[in-house]
């Protein structure tokens, strides 16, 4: 049985915590607000960026850093990611056996945007200020720990209605581009698999991509959703249907370890979300 800290026990973190508790591990979760944690999880409520050392557990085997910024600005990302990482570094850098650290990052660190294929051997070349903060956080953790950057593509799933609301608003779709997605439940199984790899001392690459392996045109996704929702197809430009921007993602490590997607495409993944969304609108 291992001792595992989940720093950021929100939606994703709670899913991971529940699975790890079921496997018999001792799990501690931290969340910034509220005090409800999954059954079997020792909960700590507070802002990790400001947390004192005496509130953090000692001698953990694995740490997950799974944060959500309060906005899409550089300062919000720095607060959510880089500053919380510094708290972990300060507390665990000098322990006798430093933990294996998994940082849930984003494929936005790959700034390629001409339809290139990107995989786990592709160098990160962030172009946005927020993506640069993510890479800086990855690098700061890697300088101290045996850490893995878990780079997720666009996460969707229960309660995540932004794209549905955008399509339903019938606002102009804008230019077409490639998009890459991953269902929240598949992210959870990926993270649990990575934890088990670490605990069994398997070699894991420094960067792991988590995506559904099915890059798709954003217009295709919106067209399918618009049809399902009875919304207007909001395309007025004369551009072709083939995307001219974005990137196409593939991740091989998880597949090599037996990971199987529950939702291998947006069509499989959005059916349940659409049902949930329609029920809320009744």
Digit-coded pLDDT (tens) for 106-127: 999 999 999 999 999 999 999 9
Average pLDDT for 236-258: 88
Residue 86 CA, distance from chain mean position = 20
Report the chain's mean pLDDT, rounded to a whole number: 96
Model confidence at 239: pLDDT above 70: no
Nearest to 154 by CA among 179, 128, 132, 185: 179
Q: What pLDDT does 237 receive?
A: 65
Give pLDDT, residue 242: 84
Q: d(Cα 182, Cα 151) in Å, to the nearest integer?
A: 11
What pLDDT does residue 234 have? 87
Q: Could you report the per-residue pLDDT of 61-111, keeping only the tens digit for each? A: 999 999 999 999 999 999 999 999 999 999 999 999 999 999 999 999 999
Is 11:159 a contact under the CB 8 Å cutoff? yes
Q: What is the pLDDT of residue 90?
A: 97
Under a CB-based contact definition with an 8 Å cutoff, are residues 93 and 144 in contact?
A: yes
How far, in Å, CA of 208 to CA of 176, rounded? Answer: 27
Stretch 5-27: mean pLDDT: 98
Q: Tell me which fold the domain 3-156+181-212+248-263 belongs to.
A: Rossmann fold (3.40.50)
- 186-205: per-residue pLDDT in tens? 999 999 999 999 999 999 99
pLDDT at position 111 is: 97
- Is pTM beyond 0.75? Reply is yes
**43: exposed, middle or buried (Cβ count in 10 Å: 0-12, 13-18, 19+):** middle
């Amino acid at each position: 049985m291992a001792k595992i800290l989940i720093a950021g026990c929100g939606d994703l973190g709670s899913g991971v915590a529940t699975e790890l508790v079921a496997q018999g591990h001792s799990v501690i979760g931290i969340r910034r607000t509220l005090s409800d944690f999954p059954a079997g999880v020792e909960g700590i409520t507070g802002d990790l960026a400001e947390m004192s050392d005496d509130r953090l557990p000692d001698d953990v085997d694995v740490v997950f850093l799974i944060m959500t910024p309060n906005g899409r600005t550089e300062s919000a990302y720095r607060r959510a990611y880089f500053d919380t990482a510094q708290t972990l570094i300060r507390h665990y850098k000098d322990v006798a056996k430093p933990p294996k650290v998994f940082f849930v990052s984003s494929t936005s660190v790959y700034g390629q945007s001409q339809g290139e294929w990107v995989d786990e051997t592709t160098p990160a070349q962030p172009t946005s200020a927020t993506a640069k903060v993510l890479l800086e956080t990855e690098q700061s953790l890697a300088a101290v720990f045996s850490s893995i950057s878990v780079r997720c593509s666009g996460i969707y799933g229960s309660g995540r209605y932004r794209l549905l609301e955008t399509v339903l608003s019938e606002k102009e779709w804008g230019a077409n581009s490639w998009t890459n997605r991953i269902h929240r439940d598949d992210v959870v199984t990926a993270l649990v698999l990575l934890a088990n790899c670490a605990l069994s001392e398997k070699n894991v690459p420094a960067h792991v991509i988590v995506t559904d392996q099915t890059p798709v045109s954003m217009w295709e996704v919106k067209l399918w959703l618009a049809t399902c929702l009875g919304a207007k197809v909001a395309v007025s430009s004369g551009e072709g249907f083939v995307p001219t921007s974005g990137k196409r993602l593939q991740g091989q490590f998880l597949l090599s370890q037996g990971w199987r997607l529950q939702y291998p495409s947006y069509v499989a993944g959005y059916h349940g979300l659409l049902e949930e969304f329609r029920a809320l609108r009744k």
